[in-house]
Structure 1
């Protein structure tokens, strides 16, 4: 009985039909960028200081420059406002009082030799920024700075919960139905974020957006890999992820042009409306899913349309073919199977840790670069550009060198680059950016490789469950990483990089404990997995030399 892959060999494995589907779904992958890393621009933290009533009037009366005003009226001002007191405390002084000296205003208020008490910023803050963000609109600084962490954690919590439910919807009701419903829900959430007036509702809607957006991206990934032939599946999957990198560049350019977060949110949401209209009419359902549901006639109709658009003629003996559903009842997937045997247990724990580490380092480096103190837009651009050579290196090496060593090296490079970045002095910012970009390239490679290696280390009957469980640690990492970055920088600006170093180096070492999957048949049973590490790779040709030895009496 021929399979769908056999038919695709005749009607086109990656021809015009598949290329068109691939292109429009790559637009969806790129549109996922603002949801995943939007906190960099939606929640950018400008330089800030307490607003003190009367300071502006006093400065105007005394003819101070801005720097003189800050030196006289901001606690512990060092020219940059880098200390906690300069950002989160103000002098408890009445700047509107009569007789305030222009040369020594504090001394004239409290007397020479006296210490001026400090007070919280009861009247708000002054932000040195031409635009607006969540931080400037809701004053998410100082004692309320944790609320920015919660904003990003909420969307990752939505990823965690939604990926399980959306995966069920995609398997139960189809890839196209799942895609359309999640796109629509994502549009609604994106537009609501533009208009809701309170921080609490923003966090709630951001969580709801997380519930649907990652599932939307995943449904697109599944669909695009299910309409191409097996020879193109891995390449298409990697390029679909690379489209996300293109989205980073576009998002950076839009954010530079629109520095106001609500207008930016609206701008990145509206194009998705056009995607939805196009997908409703032109996007096909996955023929593989239709076959799995016993809807052979609908599947063959799509295959026939595929052949027509590809200008191929489907052989007549395929036209009335009936697919038989495989018997999947012999082995029921169970969570306990993931840790039941030693090799399965080792694979599961290492994969879970690597999913967690990839998420923490990838999102963490993006967030840390956003608060590094340089040009936010240029730094983001540089770090996004390195994702393209990362994808190229993967495509070149995985079928030549294998999976394990490039994967391990990418983690080790990411960890080492984070350490070097932390040790470089702040005044050599350009060098810190270069090493941070190297780390970003390394973790991008690791992130993309864990996606497909995960599928190669589990038997068929439990493969989807294994990927779902292991990748859920990616979302757990996403929930934690805002607190790692934004809280630890208050202790030492580069302390998060030290944490990333430890995580990355451990991940690289653990990858070396996994079996190599290059050139191996996918395992079908748990027994196959247990024997995986003992399977020898394809044997190289050997030359045997027969050596004649002298005989001694």
Structure 2
């Protein structure tokens, strides 16, 4: 022991310069796990909590079905009848060329926008125009809300905003005084509708474990098809197109007030935003509701920080309280995700042309429209079940190829929904919604072209749908398989995981 000039003792066992602290070392006694491993080991991959959250969140798909497919009934061309015997023999079976006052719409002008604003003959293109503008709004909205969902708003916040806008624009559409206003409001409704499905899908599936995610993801689309089936009944009850828009917008309000307060934000989003405590609270709640024991010495971490048995290699990572952001630019910048994005874009575009084309083409079948729409929706459901059963056995890639080559609403319904699951697994959490938003934008681009193909009638639309389906199946050969692979959180985690897999291969 030495003394200073002031006779104060100096402890030589204490270093004068303390050692630096390593911020990337795990806290003593704490086991850091990524969300997939925490779900598997401590919370349950698909228990009571996930089932309730999944059902409540997926109800938003029915809202998207209402706002999207309402055009089938609101913009339909009604039946007409001759008022003056012998004056309606044009030979074409249409009202084109008939004298005004010699015929009338069955159900009156209020039965559809076509009847009210005379969207027939030389003005028939306007029907395809307004439907294409709706999908154009969807395309823009999908990109914007896909980004906002990954960044400042989160999954639940974005879903809240789009449902509010859907309710407002949907109700306002019922009071459109003219065709131009109607077209604008349908575009704005499409803008908000474009974010509903992708936000609901990611929010519903991100808290689900690896082994159950594929089947659960495919099951979300039962809600969309059920929404279409219910829509046919609603349209039958509300024969006026204005009343129909009110009736299909009210469910969005009910969803906001009754359902949304019971939906939780995604723990994965909290994690990438640096809100580790919030993510841990959700994981602990999942374990509690599922009847699982959650250890106190376990903490949630990004895939790059985890020191679990699945990811043994430790790498430098950002501090746990630092938000990690990403955008489509980051997706394009990485060679790995860039190829995936371009392929997903092209496949979603081609699949959408076929899916929406076959759905909207029911107006050309010449039979009971309400029954056709109902049966069309029901016909999709076996495809969801079959795809869900085969998804984890054969993988995403073989099914994406096979279902696109099986033409008809059965095969394409399976592909359209499978692509959501596939795209979600191809990209990490930090850019997942942005990438899925781009894929959805591609789908809306295909949907924009579809109404113009449908109005051509005859056998040409089916020829176009066949070519698009086969082309999409061929492109799917170039995508990697994602079966039994984890949902990575960051771009670095995805790249290291792929490199490790390539080395082991």
Q: Same fold judged by TM-score > 0.5? A: yes
Counterparts of 1:163 and 1:520 in 2: how far apart (Å)? 26
Larger Rg: 1
Q: Does 1:150 align with 2:182?
A: no
Q: What is the match of residue 105 of structure 2?
A: 127
In the TM superposition, 1:347-386 aligns within 5 A as 348-386=341-379
Q: Does 1:270 align with 2:250?
A: yes
Q: What is the match of residue 73 of structure 1?
A: 87
3-state SS of paired residue (1:126): strand
3-state SS of paired residue (2:119): coil
Q: Which runs of 5+ in 2 are unaligned?
A: 1-31, 305-316
In the TM superposition, 1:432-451 aligns within 5 A as 439-451=408-420
Pick closer, same or farther for the CA change 1:256–1:469 going to 2, 3 Å. Answer: same
3-state SS of paired residue (2:211): coil
Counterparts of 1:461 and 1:223 in 2: how far apart (Å)? 14
Question: Deviation of residue 211 (structure 1)?
Answer: 1.3
Question: Deviation of residue 12 (structure 1)?
Answer: 3.2
Question: Deviation of residue 161 (structure 1)?
Answer: 0.8
Pick closer, same or farther for the CA change 1:170–1:454 going to 2, 3 Å. Answer: closer
Question: Deviation of residue 324 (structure 1)?
Answer: 6.2
Q: Does 1:302 align with 2:305?
A: no
Counterparts of 1:347 and 1:280 in 2: how far apart (Å)? 33
Q: Does 1:169 align with 2:154?
A: no
Question: Deviation of residue 35 (structure 1)?
Answer: 1.6
Q: What is the match of residue 102 of structure 1?
A: none
Counterparts of 1:525 and 1:376 in 2: how far apart (Å)? 47
Preserved contact between residue 74 and residue 241 of structure 2 (Cα < 8 Å):
yes
Question: Deviation of residue 270 (structure 1)?
Answer: 1.2
3-state SS of paired residue (1:374): coil
- Higher mean C-alpha displacement, 227-236 vs 522-531: 522-531
Q: Does 1:315 align with 2:300?
A: no
Pick closer, same or farther for the CA change 1:275–1:345 going to 2, 3 Å. Answer: closer
3-state SS of paired residue (1:394): helix
Preserved contact between residue 404 and residue 472 of structure 2 (Cα < 8 Å):
yes
Question: Deviation of residue 281 (structure 1)?
Answer: 3.1
Q: What is the match of residue 26 of structure 1?
A: 58
Question: Deviation of residue 137 (structure 1)?
Answer: 1.5
Preserved contact between residue 332 and residue 341 of structure 2 (Cα < 8 Å):
yes
Counterparts of 1:280 and 1:459 in 2: how far apart (Å)? 26
Q: Does 1:190 align with 2:222?
A: no
Summarize deviations over 1:467-510 as a string: whole Å, max 9, x none.
44343221111111111111x12xxx232112112222222333
Counterparts of 1:447 and 1:525 in 2: how far apart (Å)? 25
Q: What is the match of residue 403 of structure 1?
A: 396
3-state SS of paired residue (1:284): coil
Query: How many residue pairs are counted as aligned between the two chains?
Result: 451
Question: Deviation of residue 276 (structure 1)?
Answer: 0.7
Counterparts of 2:485 and 2:288 in 1: how far apart (Å)? 35
3-state SS of paired residue (2:104): strand
In the TM superposition, 1:225-236 aligns within 5 A as 225-236=205-216
Q: What is the match of residue 503 of structure 1?
A: 468
Question: Deviation of residue 347 (structure 1)?
Answer: 5.1
Preserved contact between residue 363 and residue 478 of structure 1 (Cα < 8 Å):
yes
Q: Does 1:282 align with 2:262?
A: yes
Question: Deviation of residue 160 (structure 1)?
Answer: 1.0
Pick closer, same or farther for the CA change 1:18–1:348 going to 2, 3 Å. Answer: closer
Counterparts of 1:159 and 1:521 in 2: how far apart (Å)? 30
Q: Does 1:213 align with 2:244?
A: no
Counterparts of 1:522 and 1:291 in 2: how far apart (Å)? 13
Summarize deviations over 1:89-135 as a string: whole Å, max 9, x none.
136xxxxxxxxxxxxxxxxxxxxxxxxxxxxx5x6962234770111
Summarize deviations over 1:173-214 as a string: whole Å, max 9, x none.
222222222211111111111222222111111111111122
Counterparts of 1:531 and 1:512 in 2: how far apart (Å)? 22
Pick closer, same or farther for the CA change 1:303–1:464 going to 2, 3 Å. Answer: closer
Counterparts of 2:387 and 2:191 in 1: how far apart (Å)? 30
Summarize deviations over 1:350-395 as a string: whole Å, max 9, x none.
4333211211111111111122101111221221112111011111
Q: What is the match of residue 48 of structure 2?
A: 16
3-state SS of paired residue (1:13): coil
Summarize deviations over 1:63-110 as a string: whole Å, max 9, x none.
xxxxxx1xx212433xxx53xxx421136xxxxxxxxxxxxxxxxxxx
Preserved contact between residue 294 and residue 325 of structure 1 (Cα < 8 Å):
no
Q: Does 1:2 align with 2:18?
A: no
Q: What is the match of residue 98 of structure 1?
A: none
Preserved contact between residue 352 and residue 473 of structure 1 (Cα < 8 Å):
yes
